Amino acid sequence: MDHVDKIVDLRRNLVMEQASMPETAEGALRSIEDRGHPWRGTTLSRTDWAEGLDIKVMADDSDVDILFWVGCTGALEERSTKISQSVARLLKSAGVNFGILGTEESCCGEPARRLGNEYLFQMQAEKNIEILKNYGVKRIVTACPHGYNILKNEYPQFGGEFEVIHHTQFIAHLIEEGKLKIKKGLNEVATYHDACYLGRYNDIYQTPRQLIKAVPELKLKEMERNKRRGFCCGGGGGHMWLEEQEGRRINEMRTEQVMETGAQKVITACPFCLQMFDDGIKTKEAELKVMDIAELLAAQIEEK
């Protein structure tokens, strides 16, 4: 039984037929409608994170091989902007000809679809597909598994056929080609958390682990629940904008599972997961640091 689809259908009925939803979800959906992103209250613009990095914007120069789809979280949530900066530095170090949409980028619509506002999702999807096609975009790299999954697997329903690559896959390819070289080691123990939309939905388990193992001296210790038996960070399915009303917080439970490994770092490959762990670590007052795999590698890479 594929319970997720059933839950989303139930949410569609609540949101679109009954206009019944939690206040926080309504705020996120209204923000997507009004501002093109779900992050109410952010003071950042779509391009603040890229200041000083000399990154092409498609409106100024669309002669690129790769479009870096930054995503709302990677551009507008302060902690997650460091992921975007790390990805951009890795791409630049490898000599990749890439650009961003900048102010033309809008929410991919994933939160709207998962929270039940199908109409809003389709509006966002059709608008984004039109922009991408106008620029002749063929290949897209993104650091967000939610954006990756929806661009790759759900945009084709609306005519959006693009080659979509998660940043872990693309970075691994650059290392294999010798365009990036890991020069520094890290004498620590780390564990890796499988993002649901990277693992369960797209079967990407080995590549992130290979990247972590490629860092000299860094030891990878798996959590008891990993890969297909992994455990959600608590931010998926729109829950980034919902509050648990019953039971324990999922992110705190997953943080405890990390702590059981004795690792000093938990490595993620998703900005939602990173935020969930950041919050869980503070709540548990754990001696632990969370970082995206791009941040880890950007600190260890030597320009060729």
Q: What is the pLDDT of residues 232-261, one digit of tens each?
A: 999 988 888 888 778 889 999 999 999 999
Q: Is 279 or 21 the better-scoring residue by pLDDT?
A: 279
pTM, full prediction: 0.93
Whether the per-residue pLDDT at 215 is higher than 70: the answer is yes
Least confident of 12-16, 79-83, 273-277: 12-16
**If pLDDT is split at 50, 70 and 90, which confidence band does 195 have?**
very high
Q: Are residues 66 and 107 in the same domain?
A: yes
Single out the residue in 132, 147, 173 at which a domain terminates: 173
Q: Are residues 232 and 164 in the same domain?
A: no
Q: Are residues 53 and 158 in the same domain?
A: yes
Percent pLDDT > 90 in the chain is 85
Q: How far apart are CA 165 and CA 281, in angstroms?
A: 30
Q: Are residues 17 and 151 in the same domain?
A: yes
Q: Are residues 167 and 190 in the same domain?
A: no
Burial of 224 (0-12, 13-18, 19+ CB in 10 A): exposed
Q: Are residues 215 and 156 in the same domain?
A: no
**What is the pLDDT of the chain when averaged over all its residues?**
94
- Please report, for the domain that includes residue 246, its CATH number: 3.40.50.10700
| Alpha helix (H) residue ranges in 135-166 | 145-149
Q: What is the pLDDT of residues 6-39, one digit of tens each?
A: 888 888 888 888 888 889 889 999 999 999 999 9
CA quadruple 90, 96, 99, 100: dihedral sign: negative
Q: Are residues 36 and 122 in the same domain?
A: yes
Q: Which of 258, 169, 250, 255 is nearest to 220 (CA)?
A: 258
Q: What is the number of domains present in the chain?
A: 2
Q: Are residues 162 and 208 in the same domain?
A: no
Q: Are residues 163 and 185 in the same domain?
A: no
Residue entry with tokens 């914007």:
57
Q: Which domain holds residue 289?
A: 181-303
The mean per-residue pLDDT over the stretch 62-68 comes to 97
Task: Report the length, in residues, of the chain.
Answer: 304
DSSP character for 246?
Answer: S
**If pLDDT is split at 50, 70 and 90, which confidence band does 303 have?**
low
SS3 letters for 186-234? CCCEEEECCCCCCCCCCCCCHHHHHHHHCCCCCEECCCCCCHHHCCCCC
Single out the residue in 143, 173, 203 at which a domain terminates: 173
The strand pairing partners of 265, in sequence order, are 190, 289
Q: Are residues 137 and 198 in the same domain?
A: no
Single out the residue in 156, 173, 190 at which a domain terminates: 173
Residue entry with tokens 């501002």:
35
Phi-psi label, residue 10: left if phi above 0, alpha if psi -120 to 50, beta otherwise: alpha
The mean per-residue pLDDT over the stretch 125-150 comes to 97
The predicted pLDDT at position 304 comes to: 47
Q: How far apart are CA 242 and CA 237, in angstroms?
A: 9
Whether the per-residue pLDDT at 114 is higher than 90: the answer is yes
Whether the per-residue pLDDT at 302 is higher than 70: the answer is no
The mean per-residue pLDDT over the stretch 63-70 comes to 98
AA identity, residue 252: E
Q: Are residues 187 and 138 in the same domain?
A: no
Q: What is the pLDDT of residues 153-191, one digit of tens each?
A: 999 999 999 999 999 999 999 999 999 999 888 999 999
Q: Are residues 237 and 120 in the same domain?
A: no
Per-position b or e across 169-178, b if 16+ CB within 10 A of its CB: bbbbebbeee
